[in-house]
Structure 1
Amino acid sequence: MKTLVLFYSTYGHVWKLAEAIAEGAREVAGNEVLVKRVPETLPKEVLDKTGATGAQQAFAHVPVVTPDELKDYDAILFGTPTRYGNLCGQMQSFMDSTGGLWATGALVGKVGGAFVSTATQHGGQEETLRNFHTELLHHGFVIVGLPYAWQGQMGHEVVTGGTPYGASTVAGGQGERQPSANELEGARFQGRHTAEIAKKVSGK
């Protein structure tokens, strides 16, 4: 069985969630897990002005995905920052490039899910995840979220991400907050849970 953890990250928050997702998915026996990123669409001068260039060096070694290879995986988890309750432009551009896969039904029956980063606790985490689910449903994915079996999303003592629709983190307005231990544990849970379901669905 093969699982892909695919992400776009501006300052590294979504990448850190992606790594935790992959850790959880690797706990499922017989599961080959790869982490990849979608192509950048912003010019370097824009990335330089926003301070993203330096941050992205931390995961510059992660290979860039091509749309056609999605059909090779049994499970795919997609990570994105939010943009006004929707996918970021880079991830949306990549999803828009998968029309050929949609036309042939290449992804029908695969298991999928999403995870997200927002600047604030109420910055559109659940809306972004549900919008991503809509796109996955058009491709025929069997969608897996982050069930309440993971109790880390039940607390209210501290600010934390984690929703029944998928793992999440709160990055802060300037990207100053890093994913917490609780948020990373939620990501690991989602990765493991998704891989377990994919194994049952694929029969591998």
Structure 2
Amino acid sequence: MAAKVYIVYYSMNDHVETIAKEILNGVNSVEGVEGKLWKVPETLPDEELDSLGAARNCCVPIITPTDFIEADGFIFGFPARLGTMASQFKGFLETTESSGKKGHLAGKPASFFYSSDTPGIGQETSALTAVTLLAHHGMVFVPIGCALTAEVEVNGGSPYGTTAYTGDGFKQSAFHQGKRTAKIAKQLKESGIHKKLLENDW
């Protein structure tokens, strides 16, 4: 059975979603891995979204906590806001707390990508604060690393994950991030580590 890597994101103005689609290409380039896009639920009322000019994409399904635990690996995407992830994304993650306490996500790999409309708005801080989510679930953080970052466009990433302001400089970084995380998810699934962790046999 193919390893499942879920790209779970929140995107108000398509920037994060554009990165997500390129990451999906990278995930699906790995044989034996199946990638899928998911959005987290919106929390703002329609009137507020309209006033902000938010994009509406009905083609990507909304993830639930039950869907969440079915994946073998994750790539999380969100706008960077004041040094942390968007509240919509954080709100969804808080609904996964019970899954974390039951160990449903222990040993599963995850990485981050993020976007902001200007530089210097806390992109890397947003990634670092998001690592606490992985720690509480016992998940494995998969950063891009300095070596890969040096190979891609300057605008496309940091050691913590693919980034973008606007534009399309992120594409190479996003593809490689998807491919890298997919390979690790596949290897961990084949090793049976998640099952061993659930059974306290590792």
Q: Same fold (TM over 0.5)?
A: yes
Q: Could you tell me how far apart the structure 2 residues matched to 1:37 and 1:97 are? A: 14
1:62-77 equivalent positions in 2, closer than 5 A: 62-77=60-75
SS of 2:161's partner is coil
Mapping of 1:27-176 within 5 angstroms?
27-52=29-54, 55-56=55-56, 59-150=57-148, 151-153=150-152, 155=154, 160-171=155-166
Aligned with 1:24 (options 20, 26, 29): 26
SS of the residue corresponding to residue 19 of structure 2 reads helix
Shift of 1:133: 1.3
Which amino acid is 1:124 matched to?
G
- Detail structure 1 runs of 4+ shifted over 6 Å in the superposition: none
Whole-angstrom CA distance in 1 between matches of 2:163 and 2:151:
12
Equivalent position of 1:175 in the other structure: none
SS in 2 for 1:63: coil
Query: What is residue 177 of structure 2 aligned with on the other side?
Result: 190
Query: Which 5+ residue runs of structure 2 have no aligned equivalent?
Result: 192-202
How big is each residue's C-alpha offset from its partner over 1:56-102, in whole Å with a ceiling of 9 and x where there is no partner? 2xx22100000122211111110000111111010010011111111
Identical positions, percent: 36
User: What is the letter of the counterpart of residue 141 of structure 2?
Assistant: I
CA distance in 1 between counterparts of 2:72 and 2:126 reads 23
Residue pair 1:2, 1:31 contacting (<8 A) in 2 also: yes
- Structure 2 length-normalised TM: 0.89
CA distance in structure 2 between the aligned counterparts of 1:108 and 1:14, rounded to whole angstroms: 26
1:198 to partner: Cα distance: 1.4
1:1-56, Cα deviation, whole Å (9 max, x unpaired): 1110000001000001111111001111011111010000000000011111xx22
| Counterpart residue type for residue 165 of structure 1 | Y
Given residue 11 of structure 2, which amino acid in structure 1 is its aligned partner? S
The residue type paired with residue 8 of structure 1 is Y
Deviation at 1:148, TM superposition (A): 2.7
Kindly provide the amino acid, as one letter, of the partner of residue 32 in structure 1. Answer: E
From the superposition, tell whether residues 154 and 183 of structure 1 become closer, same or farther in structure 2 (CA, over 3 Å): closer
Return the alpha-carbon distance in structure 1 between the equivalents of residues 29 and 127 of structure 2.
Answer: 24
> How much does 1:152 deviate?
4.1
Q: Decide whether the 8 Å contact of 2:117 with 2:165 is kept in 1.
A: yes
Q: How much does 1:153 deviate?
A: 4.9
Secondary structure of residue in 1 paired with 2:107? coil
Asked if the contact 1:153–1:163 (Cα under 8 Å) also holds between the matched residues in 2, the reply is: no
* Cα-Cα RMSD: 1.4
Instruction: Describe the SS at the equivalent of 2:69.
Output: helix
